[in-house]
Chain A
Amino acid sequence: MMHSLKQIFPRHDLIAFAILAAILAIVFPLTMDIFRLNLVGKYLTYAFVALGLVLCWGYGGILSLGQGIFFGLGGYCMAMFLKLEASSPENTAIQSTPGIPDFMDWNQLTELPWFWEPFHSLPFTLFAVIAVPTVFAFFIGVAMFKRRVGGVYFAIITQAIAAILTILIIGQQGFTGGVNGITDLRTFLGWDIRTDSAKYLLYFVNLVLLFICLVIAQCVRKNKLGRILVAMRVREERVRFSGYDVSNFKIFVFCLGALFSALGGAMFTLQVGFMSPTFVGIVPSIEMVILCAVGGRLSILGAIYGALLVNFAKTSFSETFPELWLFAMGALFISVVLFFPNGLASLYQEYVLPWIKARFKPRVKTKPEAKVESKAKPQPELSEATDDSANLPAGARYEN
């Protein structure tokens, strides 16, 4: 990379990352029992999707209503591996055909379908978790972006694909487990994933993966790539006339979003112990967009906080007032769009950050060198705009 580490991680971002890491890796495990921590882990798998949406939608201006597709594909790949391990001939001896998953037996299948065979192997499964959704996203991206389909049309078509995939999974019960999904997952290479110690370990694995994705996202947004994405969202024609192939950047960022979602899906399967079409369809896909919108569509850390807060609210609301939850969710959608288009992150930047700056001003002034250096950056205006889209004219941000 041409950019130094300091440019990719300015001090302010480094502190924010450290705070998030401290909350997730130290505060939560120390204060919560394993049941709640496992729930947090589940919420964090949605944060992968929200993070991908920040890059796709917030930066690139591509709203995908089909992130559930990739979450589901990643999750199903992992679930198929775990299911095959759970349905060894000894475990399934009572079935009419031992050695195949139980739902296949119930649907009168007598042998494993060909596309299940490779999922006996762990390396293939890990490869498939990453490759299947990314390649699928690549095909969708090429078909759409090369023909300059974007904006609203792209949203509707990805939504239709999510609907198709859900209907297909539910309809092909014998191959996919139907509406119940793939359930009763037990071990991962002989290691029981249902025990408390396994859940702790999986929580931290999930966390490490999430931070790897966060670092990738941070590299994307602090690099030239991030600036091109923003430029593309604001003035697509101008970027095209400057000689960039806009569609390739769109395809790249869409595939990256799909990859993040797939990792989230695979971790979901491992932590929750099942995968079903309810995480693939239209409704979950739109809910994932709202996680991103609540956190702030331009803030990668905001996406994580958004995913946590909305899901915490969802769980506590539906525990206490189940009938009020949909009202609250609907009101949340509307108020975020009407009053805080940039989500929690904009509140933070408008109110909290000035307060912090005012507090710690004397200490910042003792380091004049750092300030000068940051001013000498090649394009301070644009990199500023990526952080704080309030600088952009209101209309320009949403032009597609």
Chain B
Amino acid sequence: MFAEYSASELTAIFAMQGFAGLILFSVLVLMALGLAIIFGQMGVINMAHGEFMILGAYITYLTSNVFAEYLPSLFVGYFFVAMILAFGVTFLLGMAVEWGLIRFLYKRPLDTLLATWGLSLILQQLYRTIFGAREVGVSLPDWMMGSYALTDIIEVPINGIFVMILTLVIALGVYWLMYKSGWGRQVRAVVQNRPMASAVGINTEKVDRVTFGLGCGIAGIAGSAFTMIGSTGPTSGQLYIVDTFLVVVFGGAQSLLGTIASAFSISQAQSTMEFFLSGSMAKVLTLLFVVGILMLRPQGLFAMKIRH
């Protein structure tokens, strides 16, 4: 399939498609970081993760409308407000869901899957009732539109760079929170040995609630980024949930670095192949490749050396 292109054209194609894949990569990384915390650390299969992301996207949409209507002079900066709001709302909803549903199911991981699937159906219908079945789009402020010409053929979209930087900041933040902060140590202690952690005075219930909320909150930020690559509809989140789980499992469920690496390889493989093949075949090949590797190496790319 490469035969009809010259070497310099191929380089340019790879570079362009690579940068085009950056937003997909950012969305996947943010989704997967949230899920890696919820699934990798807590062992909860959150099938409603995509719906939390879409909630973030809807909040971004609402914020942009509010700014365009009432504060047009501040429209340039609405995205930052939207992100914070998206995080806050999904974080609170996540904590509520943990309190009302998840905490009864920690001993039954497969049942969390069914219960959160039910939750995702309810959320989808809720979005449909509130926002309508039609997909909504968000208008970007001027400074985020357009692209930056790197060479005369390679152009980089500015919103891609922006989301990329944002993702980097959040990934570093999550890393610091999980591995360097006192709170992260508590989370890991609870995950490794719940009775012991509670015996040394950690409030395990509170740690669980905040951890789940945090994972959902990051999904909300992913939703903000998502508004840049696609329009938001009630069922848009469902399309991403399988990809996200594969990213997390492929990277090795307990490794944040693995999650980022696998999100990068999956999104880049897909967007590069999309240039040469149809979109659906690119997706099939990527997923097949991932499933194939998982069959050979079930523990994922970056697995910790522990046995369960």
Contacts and interface: CB of A to CB of B under 8 A. Distances in A.
A209 B280 CA distance: 37
B161 interface: no
B105 A337 contact: yes
B236 to A, nearest CB: 14
Interface in B273-296: 278, 280-281, 283-284, 287-288, 290-291, 294-295
A282 B242 contact: yes
A65 B280 CA distance: 21
A167 B280 contact: yes
A334 interface: yes
Contacts of B298: 144, 147-149, 153
Contacts of B137: none
Given A156-B245, A160-B291, A323-B129, A330 B109 contact: no
B110 interface: yes
A156 B84 CA distance: 31
Interface string B135-166: 00000000000000000000000000000000
A394 B294 CA distance: 31
Given A151-B109, A333-B115, A336-B114, A156 B249 contact: yes
A155 B121 contact: no
Given A144-B295, A331-B122, A338-B101, A159 B114 contact: no
Given A152-B110, A323-B128, A329 B118 contact: yes
B113 interface: yes
B111 A400 contact: no
Contacts of B117: 286, 290, 333
A327 B125 contact: yes
Contacts of B129: 323
Interface in B241-293: 242, 245-246, 249, 278, 280-281, 283-284, 287-288, 290-291
B121 A400 contact: no
A10 interface: no
Interface residues of A, number: 46
Contacts of B294: 153, 157
B143 to A, nearest CB: 36
Given A170-B280, A338-B104, A153 B249 contact: yes
B118 A334 contact: yes
B45 A334 contact: no
Given A149-B298, A167-B283, A338-B101, A290 B114 contact: yes
B119 interface: yes
B114 A327 contact: no
B295 A160 contact: no
A65 to B, nearest CB: 8
A341 B295 contact: no
A283 B115 CA distance: 14
Nearest to B245: A156
A124 interface: no
29 contacts: A147-B298, A152-B109, A152-B113, A153-B249, A155-B110, A156-B45, A156-B245, A156-B249, A157-B291, A159-B242, A160-B291, A167-B283, A167-B287, A170-B280, A171-B278, A282-B238, A286-B47, A293-B114, A326-B121, A326-B128, A327-B122, A330-B118, A330-B122, A333-B114, A333-B119, A334-B101, A337-B111, A338-B104, A395-B107
Interface of B: 43, 45, 47, 101, 104-105, 107-111, 113-115, 117-122, 124-125, 128-129, 238, 242, 245-246, 249, 278, 280-281, 283-284, 287-288, 290-291, 294-295, 298
Given A151-B109, A171-B278, A171-B284, 5 more contacts: A152-B43, A156-B45, A167-B284, A290-B117, A336-B114
Smallest CB-CB A-B distances: 6 pairs: A333-B118, A171-B280, A330-B122, A330-B121, A326-B125, A398-B108
